[in-house]
Chains A and B, each alone.
Chain A
Amino acid sequence: MASGKAIDNVYRVTPPSAAKKLRELNYCAHIVHSHIAHFYALAAPDFVVGPTASSKERNILGVIQKVGTEAGLKVINARAAAQRVQQILGGRATHPVSNIPGGVSRRPTKEEADEIKKISKDSVAFAEWSLQLFDTVVLKNKSYVETILSDTYTIETKYMGLVDEKNRLNFYDGVVRVVDEKGKEIVKFAPSDYLSHIAEHTEPWTYIKFPYLKKYGWKGLTLGEDSGIYRAAPLARFNVSDSLATPKAQEHFIRFFETLGGKPVHNTLANHWARLIELLYAAERMVELSNDNEILSDNIRTIPTETPREGVGVVEAPRGTLFHHYKTDTNGIVTDVNLIVATLNNNAAICLSVKKAAQALVHKGKVSEEILNQVEMAFRAYDPCYACSSHSLPGRTPLIINIRNSNGEIIETLTR
């Protein structure tokens, strides 16, 4: 979706309103699918099966065993339905093809639009059911709430996310808003202006870059009000938004901040709760868009007439703000490309979250599998998908913990 918007700008063309609505509808369905997969397959095992359970059970199949096959099927069907919406609107659910410069290549038929309406309504019900489940399993469990609020899983950073003109979260479009550790707005900038605000630092020991706010500069892997390190993804989006644009999600948004001690929330594991509230927001937004008759309009494309040149496109990907920037030759063939991918924004924060969790959980050099998993939980709150954001490299969670004694000698090494 970010590439589609970048290419609109490369060709200097604005899609008609119907095309924008179809794209946002498709994109909200993508958020629904991705958030369901992330929560149920990657986060729920730690909460539903338990953070110290054996790794043989601590997985999506273990979750299904615990909540029952019927509930498991409900999860599977809800995600499948969101994929179906993406297939209708995108041509394919994964790697959609319908975004073209100036609009989309196809509008849904009346029957397809009706199907999307029904799926959207069902998705709202599913999101509410998920929040109910989260309430029962996590929020009503004192020790889980303590874990979420614990210092082990808390770091204070700046936050970044896309908001609309009323400072409300929007996944598809808007301006980038950044707030500080106290929740105060630092800057709001147009996507095309991103190079004035973000730069990337490199280190010889990793393929992954470290984006930071230019205003503060790169001060190393340290936090504090002078640090340029910021976070993106669900928790960050909540911290930069004044409210959510749909009624049911807004109620949960208020409860979220009330429960967790007001804005901004710095508790990394709260990402999971925010993710489920975003699931509800995206589903409600699908209902609004699917009930808009304009999505049946034939006016879905503005044909580009200008010579292509350069463009930036930004969306909120499920795991954070996603920047695409292309320069092309006069044929529209890319000559220069720059991507700042969702999770990449969180690279420095992930390093610091893992460090803090390890320091809090590992005592006297004793590390069990359970402790290792609890350290990994600090990582999983952001993203299971690290290879993507490093653009090319290893498809695994590259976590190695060296346990050292007070002389700095390694006494044990734990690896995934």
Chain B
Amino acid sequence: MAKPKVAVYWSAACGGCDVKVLDTNEKILDIAAAVDLLFWPIALDFKYKDVEEMADREIDLCIINGGIRNSEQEHIVKLLRRKSKVVAALGACAISGGIPALANLYDAQSILDYVYHKTTSIDNFQGPLPQPEYDAPEGRLTIPKFYDSVFALDQMIDVQYYIPGCPPPPSLIVKALTAFLQGTLPPPPATVAGEGSVCDECPRERNREAKVKKWKRIAQFTPPADTKKCLLDEGFFCLGPATQAGCEALCIKANIPCEGCMGKPQGVTDRGSKMLSYIASLTDASTEEEAKKILNDVVDQAGLLYRFDLPKSLIGGRRKE
């Protein structure tokens, strides 16, 4: 039997997801032996024209990390979609925009203006902005068009499987690839993750009676190293209850509150609203006035509640001036 054909692609990503594919360590040799790797820009020297020359649906599984931020990325993921039977979104950026999508609070013009006219080391505050098409003396130079927003992959193409995390745990990548090779992937669309929320795999213990009088930030307070104490109970803004399991609570074990990179748990529509209801129930206030005062310490709500999934949130993006 012919080996299944696999492609890996990165778009608006940092390379962390690709590093996690490498972090499957010795298993990567088994995977490489079991499949035909047709395309993997960060690791293998294939070119776009190799993809263009493939037959439609020739790729059995295409794993894409990164969100969609420019015209080149849109073009390539649409091309890969046509050439692939199954597409899996790897990591927070592909699934829900990720950290780059926090820029959706602004538009392309203001971002380009900031980066090329306002950053402190720029030498010409009126210099030219990058042009998608530029007529140089040697001929026309083209670069991709920078979009107003970052899109999640499934806002551009159909996606069958989701492997969450920023970066995704290598164990989940192995789990997904093993299921693919054995033909035991669940019917799509499906997410390959743990069961329940991060709280379900956290070693710390919730105290159901706990109430929070002051919300603390790690900038000015040290979370308890005593692994019995729940960080939320202690007043640290931990997104564990509103975050899908599968990461083994690594950050919390390092005494850092969960930032929510694994995405919202199954069945939750909007993770920010879900988290806010937790916070409201924990806050020890008897009047609206008091609650307001306590919650004043929770700054940068968009960044806290939607750090990894602004394009998939109810608020969507752009700040209304």
- Residues of chain A touching chain B, judged by Cβ–Cβ distance below 8 Å, are 7, 11, 37, 41, 45, 55, 58-61, 64, 69, 72-73, 76-77, 79-80, 83, 87, 90-95, 97-98, 100-101, 105-106, 194-195, 198-207, 209, 211, 218, 301, 303-304, 308, 325, 331-333, 336-338, 340, 373, 384-385, 387-388, 391-396, 398, 402, 408, 410, 415-416
Contacts and interface: CB of A to CB of B under 8 A. Distances in A.
A325 B120 contact: yes
B26 interface: yes
Interface stretch (B156-164, B221-229, B237-245, B268-276): B221-229
B143 A385 contact: no
B124 to A, nearest CB: 7
Interface stretch (B5-13, B81-89, B310-318): B5-13
Given A77-B25, A395-B66, A308 B219 contact: yes
Interface stretch (B131-139, B174-182, B203-211): B131-139
A11 B254 contact: no
Nearest to B123: A199
A204 B131 contact: yes
A336 B72 CA distance: 29
A387 B146 CA distance: 13
B141 A91 contact: no
Nearest to A103: B222
A87 B25 CA distance: 15
B25 to A, nearest CB: 4
Nearest to B117: A202
Contacts of B220: 101, 303-304
Nearest to A399: B47
A331 B122 CA distance: 27
Contact of A59 (B29, B45, B166): B45
B49 interface: yes
Contact of B167 (A90, A94, A199): A94
B176 to A, nearest CB: 18
A97 B254 contact: yes
Interface string B113-130: 001100111111001111
B253 interface: yes
A198 B123 CA distance: 9
Contacts of B171: none
Q: Which 4 A-B pairs have the closest CB atoms?
A: A91-B254, A204-B128, A199-B123, A97-B256
Nearest to A372: B47
A308 B217 CA distance: 13
Contact of B115 (A105, A195, A203, A391): A391
Prevailing SS type, chain B contact patch: loop
Nearest to A91: B254
A91 B256 contact: yes
B255 A392 contact: no
A101 B69 CA distance: 32
Contacts of A37: 19, 22
A351 to B, nearest CB: 13
A60 to B, nearest CB: 6
B23 A83 contact: yes
Contacts of B144: 393-394
A280 B221 CA distance: 38
A307 to B, nearest CB: 11
A1 to B, nearest CB: 15
A73 B15 contact: no
Contacts of A194: 121
Contacts of A91: 250-251, 253-254, 256
Contacts of B13: 387, 395
Contacts of A206: 130, 143
B41 A395 contact: yes
B14 A388 contact: yes
B123 A201 contact: yes
Contacts of B166: 95
Contact of B129 (A95, A204, A416): A204
Contacts of A387: 13, 15
B122 A200 contact: yes
B55 interface: no
